[in-house]
Amino acid sequence: MGFAFLVVMRTGFKAFVSFLLVSLLLSSLVSSVPEDGLLRVGLKKFKPDPNNRVAARLESQGGWSLRSSIRPYHLNGLQGDAQQADIVGLKNYLDAQYYGEISIGTPPQKFTVIFDTGSSNLWVPSSKCYLSVACFFHSKYQSSQSSTYKRNGKPASIQYGTGAISGFFSNDNVQVGDLVIKDQEFIEATSEPGITFMAAKFDGILGLGFQEISVGDAVPLWYNMVEQGLVKEPVFSFWLNSNPEEEEGGELVFGGVDPKHFKGKHTYVPVTQKGYWQFAMGDVLIGGKPTGYCGGGCAAIADSGTSLLAGPTTVITMINQAIGASGVASQECKAVVAQYGQTIIDLLLVEASPKKICSQVGLCTFDGNRGVSRGIESVVDESEGRSSGFMRDAMCSACEMAVVWTHSQLQQNQTQERVLNYVDELCDRIPSPMGESAVDCGKLSSMPKVSFTIGGKVFDLSPNEYILKVGEGPSAQCISGFTGLDVPPPRGPLWIMGDVFMRRYHTMFDYGNLRVGFAESA
């Protein structure tokens, strides 16, 4: 998974809103190492410009879909496929808002980068990038101009959900603020295909994840920062400014935490799997009521490189229904409810195992842990087979969601008629293939809180915190900050706690104690 960008809008609106988030150029960066030994890196965020519609020209395939970015890359990476070890997926470049400046070489060559806790490599465009149009729009590293450059030459390639880069490794000094990390291995990108990189205002990525997911097993910059004794403590922390009226985007602090950035104390949870900053998360609540979906535990990742908050489509649909978000109706889902809804209720009332119900009604097979698509036993026509296979997958998935929703409503002692109507309505709230769900800007005050249980504590998000607003007045557009992401067991269900969450909660990444801490942002 690694650099996990999420594509969240459909064609037109998707491209429009995504581009707005990165449409203004990064201004000056403030960083210093004061007497307290902390390195503070100022982050800038880009204010949306509702009049800028340049990105509307992007073709739909230029953005990719959320599911197309996950299936080929993310799942292989999580399952530990050795041949896919360098595959990284899941983030949408155009949704990343927070940027900083670094320098590479002697004398220093400046680059704008995303500080990303969801990946582990540093890469910037190379002066040897001749054929990719994107390279002409960004600063390029020139090894011949640096007296501290060391030739490496090992090839490198990274596939993201919304594009790919390839090139080769080099070594040079990297400056972050006033700190100089010596002999850092990084990627010189010689190929950046696609329009995504051309439209983005950043030059490269600085990964802050673990070496376990580093392409080419390169030692991450953060490791070298600690190893070379450049920071006071093996800790870094993010404060993302939630005030849209202020120019300051936030601050990334290396070596500790800045007390003025948070209130109270941090709630800590251990890193459950090195690679991403992954931890265990408990139940998700809507309006204070448990959904029960993560009652048995879910995995979550604290990810500074993702704008939205992503989770299993089943729960995201429940959230979007509760906040009045309108997605694209799923005919497969509604067909399941119409044909099997009452049977699902009957089986649940006789205490059948929810995990086995979809196989009992014939839409899935049970693999011992969950329902999976039955597949196609006979195929007459190849094109018909592909269509049938897609439909079978959709029906199985729709059934599993319907079971979860039905079970949740029955536990709240709702009437059977009310349950069926509720589940049918949820079918209309399933996010679009691009993940986008719009809401009425005038109804924010009536929307419920959405909460997440972490370390035994409940962390709330209010409507003003989970709704993204573009523009002002009657022309304003609002979208849900929640998007669907389905990762099957044993790695899933998986949640990506992106900037929507990290704006509300100051996040500390404790490398020394392998834990993540959350506290209310100040």
What is the reported pLDDT for 51?
Answer: 33
Rounded Cα–Cα distance for residues 522 and 520 (Å): 6
For position 437, what pLDDT does the model report? 73
Q: Please tell me whether the peptide bond between 107 and the residue prior to it is cis, using omega within 30 degrees of 0.
A: yes
Which residues touch 63 (CB under 8 Å, ≥6 apart)?
Answer: 7, 9, 11, 14, 15, 18, 92, 94, 162, 196, 434
Q: Is 487 in contact with 78 (CB distance < 8 Å)?
A: yes
For the chain, list residues with pLDDT below 50: 1-32, 47-96, 328-329, 373-391, 433-434
pLDDT value of residue 220: 98
Tokens of 415: 């009437």
Q: Considering the candidates 95, 172, 303, 486, report the single residue annotated as catalytic.
A: 303
User: Residue 457: beta bridge partners?
Assistant: 454
* Annotation marks residue 116 as catalytic: yes
Q: Check 95, 116, 499, 510 and give the catalytic one.
A: 116
* 203 in catalytic set: no
Structure tokens belonging to residue 177: 């603020």
Contact partners, residue 213, CB within 8 Å, separation at least 6: 1, 2, 77, 88, 119, 120, 275, 276
Tokens in use for 238? 């993010």
User: Could you say which DSSP state residue 54 is in?
Assistant: G
Contact 49, 20 (CB under 8 A): yes
Q: Is the peptide bond before 493 cis (omega within 30 degrees of 0)?
A: yes
As given in the structure block, the two tokens for residue 338 are 């119409």
Beta bridge partners of 278: 273, 301
